[in-house]
Each structure stands twice: as structure tokens, then as C-alpha cells.
Structure 1
Amino acid sequence: MPIQFSTDEQLLEGIRKGDTSAILQLYKTSYHSVEHFILQNSGSEADAQDIFQEALVVLCEKVSNPHFMLTASLNTYLYSICRRMWLKHLRDTKRHLDVEDFREFIPMDEDSEDWETMELQQQAMHRAMEELGSPCKELLKAYYFEHRSMQEIADAFGYTNANNAKTQKYKCLQRLKRYFFKESHTHKT
């Protein structure tokens, strides 16, 4: 039976020593939340396994650094690595990005926030995006996720020039921020 590590510090020490039971325990406690995130964001089970394995390699490299200091729970830290790797993968492969990927714009210190807080903020961002509606939602997606130029956006959305499109993008961002902060304060638990 594998050793049960009762604290993150013990788990980190096990990883440093190359103890496979530490990796197995981390897999058992962290994998399902990562898999859920990837499946909800255009991925497959195979994608989730690949990303999780890559993130474990990154984690092991970081842990081997004597100056490494964990400032959040190990599960939160590993989830954050996986999340960033998956979003980068989506951008690199130019897959369709959903509204949920606006979570990148949620102001937070991921190393000190727990997963539940991150999920609540993501839900608030989703509600804010829905409240924002058209054409702002589409304009922000076109700029931030499709990486379209202001001139392309002006042409697609019927603005007279790129400067007008830029002004509209700014107004949409201001509305999104206002809705987000209203939503995040309204739905605090």
C-alpha cells in the first residue's frame, strides 16, 4: 500500500526524493479537477492526461529548486499549471475558445487563491459576459481570442474606422468590468 502523505510539505519532500507514491497520491487528489476543466474547454480525456503529465514534469522541476516555496495548496498550484498549459495549447492550436476562457482576465493572484474562489470568479465572469450581450461580447472575442485587427473589427462590425472600433472596444471592456464586479459582489458566499 502506498505511503499516505498527510501534508503538502510531506508530499513535496516525497516528490523531491523521487518517491513514486507521492506522485500517485498527487494524481489521485488532483487529476479529476484538471480533467473536468479540460473536458469543459474543448479537450478530451487524452488531452487531460497529456497536460497533467506535462504539468507533473514542470512541478517536479520546480520542486527540485531549493528556493521553491509553495504559497498555495499543492492541488491549487498544480491545477494552475495545468490550466495555463491548456489555455496556451488552445491558443497555439487556434481552437475555438469559449466564454469561460475570459477567466484569464479575472484579476487574481493564483498562487494564493483556492480553486473554489477561482470557480466562483469564473462563474461571475460568465454571467457578466452574458449580461454584456451583443455586439460587445463578439467584439471582445474577435479582438482577444481571434486576434483580429481593429480595422478588421471595424469592417466586420460596421464601424467607420479602426479608431471608432477601438473606442467601442474600450467601452465594452469598461462595461464588462462593471458587470463582473457587480456579479462577483452579488454572488459572494
Structure 2
Amino acid sequence: MKKSLYETDEAVMEGIRRSDDRALAYLYKLHFPMISHFILNNSGTEDEAKDIYQEGVIVFYEKIKDNSLELSCQIKTYLYSVCRRLWLKRLAEKGRYATKLEDTDNFVAVEEDTDQHEEQEKQFGVMGEALGQLGEPCKSLLEDYYIHTHSMQAISDKFGYTNSDTAKNQKYKCLQRLKKLFFATYKPGVR
């Protein structure tokens, strides 16, 4: 796997100062999923997420170029904070948000929100790996129940179990195996 020229925040900022378009392109791709996730989960669309992210990157870019940014956190935290504020302001303008913008700072600190998002992403990744290691029929049974929301009776019929109670029993055993695989890999708070 080819390593990026911009592996650190300092390298990205230096690239922007040198007017290297690759630094800006890298920045656009790097943190957009986080912003998109936030906006889509808060009454927004994909296009609105793109607009807000672009505005946030422009704010960051201009502050880097005129040397007025004293960054005391990671770039992603800064961008998240800027984009979050821009989005909440836009929601307020559209009347989709009931509270005043000043009240929003009382919710969750940006660092906490970003850390929580990263931790969830890590958990999803580890869970995906554990599900991949689980094997059949457990993998299909759990996917049918939790993802495709099939009834126990439908699962019982599909897998040839005697009745839905037998299917429930099997689901429980599969969950225990999945849990064991998950916690063998997952270490909370460790990055």
C-alpha cells in the first residue's frame, strides 16, 4: 500500500501553505465521511453535506494561507467543529432547528463527539471482522435476524430447525460465539 505524502496534520498544513493542490485534495477526501455522517444524521442531505464540508475546508484553507490559525487540536476536530457550527446555523435559518445556535455548545464537546464517532467506527470494523470469522450457519442466521429482520419462524423454516424456539436457542449460541470473537480483538479506547 502506497503511503500518503500527507500522513500528519503538519504535512497537510505545510502543503496548503505551499499551494500544493494534492494537500487540499487529500484533505477533502480524508474527513468528508465524518462530516457527511453528522449532517445526514441531523436532517441533512448528501449535497448539503458536500456544501457544508466545502465551506468548512475553505475556512480552514483561508486561515492557513493568511497565518491566522492557531491549531490546538487535530485538523479533523477543527473541521468537525467548523462544519457542525455551519450546519447548525443553516438548520436555524431553515427553521429546522428549534433552539438558538448559542445553546448548541451545551450539548457535547467536539472532541468527545469526534472520539465517540471514531470509537464507533472501530467497533463496527471489529464487529465486521468477528462476523467474518464466525462461519456458517451462524453468520447467515444473525444477519437474517438483525440485518434483514426476518422472524424466528422464517429463520426456523430457512435453516430447517424444528421450531422457532430451536432457532432462538441457536441464535443465542451464535451471539455468544460472536461476542467472544469480538472481545478477543476489541480493546476499548485503544487506537
Change beyond 3 A, Cα 1:114–1:71: farther
Listed as ranges, the matches of 1:12-161 within 5 Å are: 12-96=13-97, 104-106=105-107, 108=109, 110=110, 115-117=114-116
Q: How far apart are 1:118 and its partner, in Å? A: 7.7
8 Å Cα contact 2:88/2:97 also seen in 1: no
The code of the aligned residue for 1:49 comes to: K
Structure 1 vs Structure 2 CA RMSD: 3.1
Change beyond 3 A, Cα 1:106–1:114: closer
Q: How far apart are 1:104 and its partner, in Å? A: 3.1
Q: Which residue of 2 aligns with 1:159?
A: none
Q: How far apart are 1:106 and its partner, in Å? A: 2.8
Q: Normalising by the residue count of structure 1, what TM-score does the alignment of the two structures yield?
A: 0.53
The code of the aligned residue for 1:74 comes to: I
Runs of at least 5 residues in structure 1 that lack an aligned partner in the other structure: 121-187
Q: Normalising by the residue count of structure 2, what TM-score does the alignment of the two structures yield?
A: 0.53
Change beyond 3 A, Cα 1:13–1:55: same
Q: How far apart are 1:17 and its partner, in Å? A: 1.9
- Listed one character per residue, the Cα deviations across residues 49-86 of structure 1 (whole Å, up to 9, x for unaligned) are 11111111111111123242211111111111111100
User: What's the secondary structure of 2:22's corresponding residue?
Assistant: helix
Larger Rg: 2
Runs of at least 5 residues in structure 2 that lack an aligned partner in the other structure: 120-187
8 Å Cα contact 1:16/1:63 also seen in 2: yes
Identical-residue share of aligned pairs (%): 38
Distance (whole Å) between structure 2 residues aligned to residue 51 and residue 14 of structure 1? 22
Q: How far apart are 1:89 and its partner, in Å? A: 0.3
- Listed one character per residue, the Cα deviations across residues 98-144 of structure 1 (whole Å, up to 9, x for unaligned) are 9xxx7631364x4x667115889xxxxxxxxxxxxxxxxxxxxxxxx
Runs of 4+ in 1 over 3 A off after TM superposition: 117-120
Q: Which residue of 2 aligns with 1:179?
A: none
Listed as ranges, the matches of 1:157-168 within 5 Å are: none
8 Å Cα contact 2:6/2:12 also seen in 1: yes
Distance (whole Å) between structure 2 residues aligned to residue 54 and residue 84 of structure 1? 11
Higher relative contact order (Cα pairs below 8 Å, separated by 6+ residues): 1
User: What's the secondary structure of 2:85's corresponding residue?
Assistant: helix
Distance (whole Å) between structure 2 residues aligned to residue 13 and residue 67 of structure 1? 14
- Listed one character per residue, the Cα deviations across residues 13-50 of structure 1 (whole Å, up to 9, x for unaligned) are 11122211111111221000000000001100000011
